[in-house]
Structure 1
């Protein structure tokens, strides 16, 4: 995410029956055997069906996500009418139980749930705050695969974060879009809403004919019938839920291919053609440069979408299709914000945080990518930018450790700027060869998964062959301004 409108220098019943079946003991009927001398039957595993946890256990957002299951895929079908701002949804979640479940939860804010089925059988549902509590007609044993289908409708909403501002579902003059971190998904579909439970997505969006509907991944065939057009999108790589997006409205869309992969670039027609379009056209060139320093581009498509709403003040790294506020291009072409969001495709999207307190692994890396881009374009050097940020940063940045910023500073300057400075300090400590090897190995080894700061520290020490406690303690965990490296 880029929260600043300036250049940022400075994550079945059959099996249950099988598990509970009691075996028979064979006896020799030719000679009587007493009960006491008969071979003992193997113990039968007992199932302890309990309610799944109503949160995944994130230290900053304990109610986000849910426990007891792991989602493999979402099949999302929504129909949206901009005139009424109403959305009708039909979502099928395919998952596996990781505990013996009597009930389990999905995250869903607002909306009216019309029906829920588990394995195509009606299930009981109740609402507790933002939790949709589902009770299937039978317990789900550990390891069992199951499907959940939820049919719902209503007017999707938004939330406001004091640091980020409005996020979630934005209703615009010509349609709508979805964007938000750390949450946005649960505002328009039922979901296990935490990066720890990444999944693949198939999204169908039905909108009035004549409007465009953009989402993540590779576009499928369109279908128009009775004044409505259905747009199909598929993201085949695991994706954290907050990275899902919709952009519905009147867009200038440029479709092309790059290295055999589709490229989809959209700019709202609420903007005159100009700086936003030019900035989007630089997407693949920027991605190619980042590939040279981070390793292979991690997804099956490229793209970006520029949206306009006076309440949107950030850009977000939506997987394969970052969403940019029009405000970033008010002063002209802005490659820095494109670099930032594209860097997140490696660091944030492919490699996602295990818990939100490690947000610097997203934002520090994306901010440092901007420094590298400036170096690549001979506009400045990473060292010069480091020196400027080090000299001019507000004192609060030194009181806030980027690896443990606290919930209030999750999107403050420390994870971004001090996180980038931590990477530059690492670069100085290990040298360029080891540093760029660390970045590539990190992106490769953690691809499609989640990661922690401790894991990054371990990898950096393994690759460099150096003990780096003093570097990381000063730059990631300390609460005083470190000495310049």
Structure 2
């Protein structure tokens, strides 16, 4: 992750994504990567990746066969591959195509007809970027296990899948017919990739090829290699195949730690709907980096500890009851992998819901109070630095607050709805309605407004499009108590609950002063555990006020 919360720097904590933006000047390279230009006006149908990995030379070579359908007649298409990687040749119908390179984009000349399936085979080779500290920066990880065996993995979210394989590197297009991944590695090692294992073949040259097939659409950044001295175990649980690939000497520890997958699946399938990639199975794969949400092959590197490498991100103690990487990265199977943001600027759609899934799991296992204790404990990591939504069309993510500020926003909306049966129904129907779809912020907000019957757009806008959270202001005016919202959004009118004189009262503040029926602040308490807001009293603060900003 290139841009971390201050808390992350101080504690070594991060949230497993390579955030790219902040205050920056955008370049043509950013536009080529982030925008949907004419040269990208085609629909990818299937990828067939077939490569060899040489651990000694940290070198890869091979090809990607790309089936695609142009949405208009095209004489040039754009495929992305980092400029440190060599293009060996690009073939269409047995003929070499002419191409030129600009930054990390490869522009390929041809005659590609609208609504007609075309194919190119893109041959390439080179030494891919080696990550310095995966998964916070993107690239290959080349390490050795405790027995001296090569242990290799990829992690490229944010930086881009095109750092190691050629593809249309934009979140808006996933191959709806799936993908095959064939990887040859030195004999004695295994490669584990996404989807189902289809077999292996000794190539007779000191390498064995491991073949995997993905049936469902898949995010480019989810495509993964995991190479090592792995052993496999697993089971079928309530109709879902659970497969685990771990280093040989960690087998017994993994059998104990990975038992948590079953109560997690019970919880998530109840709250979010059926596991969205059942056809491709669910896998945990031990990796030499902390973890990543690689679809149907979730990367696990939490060292078989509870919490986040043995620490509790919430500071509440609740976070030590479960394995952070298992829960968070699997939550992404619903939010990020199944429901995918069209533009990386809307990555909150991935991270806010997934961070909220940590709270959901906690509540499933240990009850409402434990869940609230956890989600509110994560508030200390919120920076309110820049908006959560980034800049569109330039491959720019917004604030790292997309994680826990986003989760606290969803917890707030839950309490605005004020009906848990309705809330859980909305959350599950959202997951099922947009299953395997590419969405925008507008799609999400419109859906939640429709299903809740509430005006939620001002709430989403304040938390996502502005750095500050709303401030509930109070002021004593003679015997009257006045209240209002201070917020960036025009006509902001989010309801909020308070406790006064021992009773819960729902206020409906606006940006204009309103009068509270009861007077006096000494017994007033704003329910800040349910609403992620600031509270401010204008004037001398009464002795008993709770939740002052």
Q: Would you call these one fold, judging by a TM-score over 0.5? A: yes
Q: How many residues align?
A: 428
Counterparts in 2 of 1:24-35, with a 5 A limit? none
Match of 1:127 in 2: 101
Following superposition, the deviation at residue 341 of structure 1 comes to 0.8
Counterparts in 2 of 1:42-441, with a 5 A limit? 61-62=34-35, 67-109=40-82, 110-136=84-110, 139-158=111-130, 165-173=136-144, 174-199=150-175, 200-226=178-204, 227-269=206-248, 272=250, 278-299=256-277, 300=279, 301-308=281-288, 312=289, 314-326=290-302, 329=305, 330-331=309-310, 334-378=322-366, 380-390=369-379, 392-394=380-382, 396-397=383-384, 399-404=385-390, 410=397, 412-430=399-417, 431-441=419-429
| Greater relative contact order structure (CA < 8 Å, 6+ sep) | 1
> Distance in 2 between the 1:328 and 1:405 partners?
38
Please give the secondary structure, in 2, of the residue aligned with 1:165. Answer: coil
More deviation, 246-255/61-70: 61-70
> Distance in 1 between the 2:52 and 2:252 partners?
32
Following superposition, the deviation at residue 205 of structure 1 comes to 1.0
Following superposition, the deviation at residue 274 of structure 1 comes to 6.4
Counterparts in 2 of 1:454-473, with a 5 A limit? 454-473=442-461
Q: Is the 8 A contact 2:85 2:127 kept in 1?
A: yes
Q: Is the 8 A contact 1:283 1:303 kept in 2?
A: no
Following superposition, the deviation at residue 63 of structure 1 comes to 8.5
> Distance in 2 between the 1:169 and 1:81 partners?
12
**Unaligned stretches of 5+ residues in structure 2:** 16-27, 145-149, 311-319, 473-527, 532-549
Match of 2:485 in 1: none
> Distance in 2 between the 1:65 and 1:264 partners?
41
Alpha-carbon RMSD: 3.2
Change (3 A) 1:65 1:433: farther
Following superposition, the deviation at residue 473 of structure 1 comes to 3.3
Following superposition, the deviation at residue 106 of structure 1 comes to 0.7
Match of 1:22 in 2: none
Give the TM-score normalised by structure 2.
0.71
> Distance in 2 between the 1:405 and 1:346 partners?
24
Following superposition, the deviation at residue 363 of structure 1 comes to 0.8
> Distance in 2 between the 1:160 and 1:78 partners?
23
More deviation, 331-340/463-472: 331-340
Change (3 A) 1:86 1:479: closer
Following superposition, the deviation at residue 122 of structure 1 comes to 2.0
**Unaligned stretches of 5+ residues in structure 1:** 9-53
Following superposition, the deviation at residue 62 of structure 1 comes to 4.0
